[in-house]
Amino acid sequence: MTARRIALGIGLALAGAAVGLAAGSVVAGELAERNTAEAVLLVGVDAGSVDPSTQLADTQVLIAQITNGYTALIRTPLILDDAMDELGGDVAGLTTDDVARMTSIASGRTSPIVTISVTDDDPERAAVLANALATTFMERLNAGSMPEMPTQVGVISASLLREAAPGSPRIDLPAPLAMAGGAVAGGALGLAIAWLALRAGGRVRPGERLDGYGLDELGPLSPGETGAVPPEPARLLRSLVAAHFPAARVVVLTSTTSRSAEPSAAVGVARAFAAAGARTLLVDADLAHGGLGQALGLSGRAGLAELLASPEAEPSVVALDGVGEVLTAGTTTGDDGVRHDALAGILSRLRRGYDAIVIHAPALLDEPGTASIVDAPGVVVGLTVTPQVDRRADVRSAAHLVRSLDNPLIGAIVVQS
């Protein structure tokens, strides 16, 4: 279990670090974009030079071809050298190759609009370079000093639609630092998610407090054939039951799932009532498994199943020292579970002969019929919780299910493994 938790934590931390690294890279890219200056040009064409029989779509493609052909020259020495000579000291320390790498050209597939983008650490210099490249290109193109393109469309001019302006002031956050920060933040987030996942979806830990699930702890129980509840929790349990139903005193004990079903809990609670001098009846309502009868060595005896089949018959109970009387699950198959109306009638009869009735019910989340037992009139409900076996999500679901019914949930008995 510990190894799985560690593996989950490490895995989520690494995943978070990877996501954070990618996010840091994106942030670094966004910061770089703030230092990109753009100049926008409109390249004019001579539509009269196009063959009249040429389709409009073909004409647009030809326009794009000539536009792209000429604007590709912007990143060559033909334009770069003239632009840098014009700027002089403004581009000190930069070479033609440096400016070529800093420059990108974009144009639409069928559009004569061209965007010249220059990205630099210095937003002012990026704008100056973009405008110089745009001006140099326009001057050469308008003066007719550009190489001719082997196309059917003639270019006659270029005009500036939008001058480049400096971007926002440069934020001095190098990409490696942004990526490292993202990785650290992502790793921390991954660990936090792992911790929350383990808290929410892992198993109940030994010694873990149950008030986080909205459960009062009725005390620990060491499982065994006869079961036992320590004196203090036994007094608390009796007082809670009496506070809710002074006359009825019917306690239904259920586990969350069949993995944690523990009939010894019901035996222990029955002992607590018997020790207080109450005439006690212990009932096994888990018809499918009959675990209580097995734990007490009473297998094969008629019990609740037969009583459900013949509600007017006398209950076949067995006296057991220190516990009281026991009504086993019986020998008839219990695949259909306990019907709500039938159990209500039987409990009404049994209450007249006993001070306290303790019912061992099937697992609440595994057996649909258990809700009928828990919802029987005039009972209180106790939940058994087994650390390292019960999942936290199951405990929460079971507690929520009981609270959605009419009968009170008095708390939980912790079954110690």
Of 33 and 25, more confident? 25
Determine, yes or no, domain membership for 325: yes
Rounded average pLDDT over 410-416: 79
Highest mean pLDDT among 48-62, 135-149, 153-167, 376-390: 376-390
List Cβ neighbours of 329 (8 Å cut-off, separation of 6 or more).
284, 285, 286, 287, 289, 290, 292, 293, 303, 304, 305
Side chain identity, residue 336: D
Model-wide pTM > 0.85? no
Q: Are residues 90 and 189 in the same domain?
A: no
Q: Are residues 152 and 175 in the same domain?
A: no
Does 57 have pLDDT greater than 80?
no
Q: Beta-strand (E) ranges in 134-216?
A: 154-162
Q: Are residues 258 and 376 in the same domain?
A: yes
Q: Are residues 186 and 244 in the same domain?
A: no
Both tokens assigned to 241: 């039951």
- In this structure, which long-range contacts are made by residues 400-403, counting pairs with CB atoms below 8 Å and at least 24 apart in sequence? 401/364, 401/365, 401/371, 402/364, 402/374, 403/214
Q: Are residues 264 and 193 in the same domain?
A: no
Rounded average pLDDT over 345-349: 81
Which backbone phi and psi does 50 adopt, to 5 degrees? -90, 140
Residue 329 near residue 289 (C-beta atoms within 8 A): yes
Q: What is the pLDDT of residue 170?
A: 46
Q: What is the pLDDT of residue 12?
A: 58
In the chain, the number of structural domains is 3
Rounded CA separation 206/4 (Å): 17
Q: Are residues 144 and 224 in the same domain?
A: no
Q: Are residues 147 and 43 in the same domain?
A: yes
Determine, yes or no, domain membership for 134: yes
Determine, yes or no, domain membership for 206: no
Does 21 have pLDDT greater than 80?
no
Q: Are residues 190 and 303 in the same domain?
A: no
CATH (domain of 44): 3.30.70.1130
Residue 347 near residue 357 (C-beta atoms within 8 A): yes
List Cβ neighbours of 93 (8 Å cut-off, separation of 6 or more).
none
Rounded average pLDDT over 182-209: 67
Q: Are residues 111 and 5 in the same domain?
A: no
Q: What is the pLDDT of residue 216?
A: 79
Q: What is the pLDDT of residue 326?
A: 92
Mean pLDDT of the chain: 74
Residue 322 near residue 213 (C-beta atoms within 8 A): no
Determine, yes or no, domain membership for 195: yes
Side chain identity, residue 346: I
Rounded average pLDDT over 27-46: 68
Q: What is the pLDDT of residue 225?
A: 42
Determine, yes or no, domain membership for 388: yes
User: Across-strand partners of 154?
Assistant: 46
Does 31 have pLDDT greater than 80?
no
Q: What is the 3-state secondary structure (H, E, C) of the chain?
A: CHHHHHHHHHHHHHHHHHHHHHHHHHHHHHHHHCCEEEEEEEEEEEHHHCCCCCCHHHHHHHHHHHHHHHHHHHHCHHHHHHHHHHHHHHHCCCCHHHHHHHEEEEECCCCCEEEEEEECCCHHHHHHHHHHHHHHHHHHHHCCCCCCCCCCCEEEEEEEEECCCCCCCCCCCCHHHHHHHHHHHHHHHHHHHHHHHHHHHCECCCCCCCHHHCCCEEEEECCCCCCCCCHHHHHHHHHHHHHHCCCCCEEEEEECCHHHCCHHHHHHHHHHHHHCCCCEEEEECCCCCCHHHHHCCCCCCCCHHHHHHCCCCCCCCEEECCCEEEECCCCCCCCCCCCHHHHHHHHHHHCCCCCEEEEECCCCCCCCCHHHHHCCCCCEEEEEECCCCCEHHHHHHHHHHHHCCCCCEEEEEEECC
Rounded CA separation 327/303 (Å): 5
Q: Are residues 58 and 184 in the same domain?
A: no
Both tokens assigned to 121: 């650490």
Q: Which of 62-66, 117-121, 133-137, 193-197 has the lowest mean pLDDT?
A: 193-197
Determine, yes or no, domain membership for 250: yes
Determine, yes or no, domain membership for 150: yes
Q: What is the pLDDT of residue 282?
A: 92
Of 340 and 70, more confident? 70
Residue 152 near residue 51 (C-beta atoms within 8 A): yes
Q: What is the pLDDT of residue 139?
A: 86
Determine, yes or no, domain membership for 116: yes
Rounded average pLDDT over 226-236: 57
Rounded average pLDDT over 387-411: 85
Does 212 have pLDDT greater than 50?
yes
Both tokens assigned to 11: 């895995």
Q: Which domain holds residue 25?
A: 1-31+171-199
Q: Are residues 238 and 383 in the same domain?
A: yes
Q: Are residues 6 and 108 in the same domain?
A: no
Residue 390 near residue 256 (C-beta atoms within 8 A): yes
Does 215 have pLDDT greater than 70?
yes
- DSSP element (H, E) containing 252: strand 250-255
